[in-house]
Amino acid sequence: MNKRVIHDISLPISESLAVWPGDSGVKIKQSSHIAKGDHATVSSLSFGAHTGTHVDAPAHFILNGSTVDTLDLDILVGQALVVEALNVDSLTVSVLESLSIPRGYDRILFHTRNSQLWEDQPSVFHNEFVAIPEEGARWLVDRGFRLVGIDYLSVAPFKQGVPTHRELLSAGIIVLEGLNLNGIKPGVYQMICLPLRIVGIDGAPARTILIEEPADNQPLSDRITG
């Protein structure tokens, strides 16, 4: 009997996880530990708001933009379209149009060759990752998406972060970065993405899952590859 499958597409946060250049690395310290004779093990955590799988709120690039604790949960939970684009270097307008992305979806997640980097070298930051240039971001805005996700630490090209982020965030699109989509087939899933509810902050790590219902185990007519 088929049963639903839950795919965890979040990166495991550890002290060895690659972070954006200049960001604080992950630090995990145990102030007490049972092995040392303490009554309980208690840990403290230190890492940046944009560590691992995380959500960008408008405040990340927009002055007086909304913060992560005010994001609409209706956007963060619901049907998501996973689109495969493994053989491209950039998600340009021409590439996006070639993918024949169907209409009617609010959330889109791009599975690129970036995901393999998390399997091969999760501790190393790579600046030649697949991203969305400004014109690609504008295309996604025009198509009415409300959430855009990608499988590296930025939706925008390295050292060209402002135009893409401003295009998306100023339109109210939630940006989801740092996904690991290895093993995820293109198609439609139920997504749950819950960033930490930290008040007044520009982004936060988010445990993100895709739920594949039994019917989804059959081939989907609208699976997209590229």
Positions annotated as catalytic residues are: 60
Q: Which amino acid is at 101?
A: I
Query: Residue 120 in 3-state DSSP?
Result: helix
Report the C-alpha gap between 94 and 60 in whole angstroms.
Answer: 28
Asked if residues 32 and 38 have their Cβ atoms less than 8 Å apart, the reply is yes
Token couple for 224: 């997209």
H-type alpha helices, the chain: 73-76, 93-98, 114-120, 134-142, 161-170
Asked if residues 148 and 168 have their Cβ atoms less than 8 Å apart, the reply is yes
Q: Which H helix or E strand runs over 68?
A: none
Helix, strand, coil percent values for the chain (each to nearest 5): 20, 25, 50
Report the C-alpha gap between 31 and 50 in whole angstroms.
Answer: 25
CA distances from 170 to 15, 32, 48, 146, 174 (A): 33, 44, 23, 11, 10
Who contacts 192 (Cβ-Cβ below 8 Å, separation ≥6)? 76, 77, 208, 209, 211
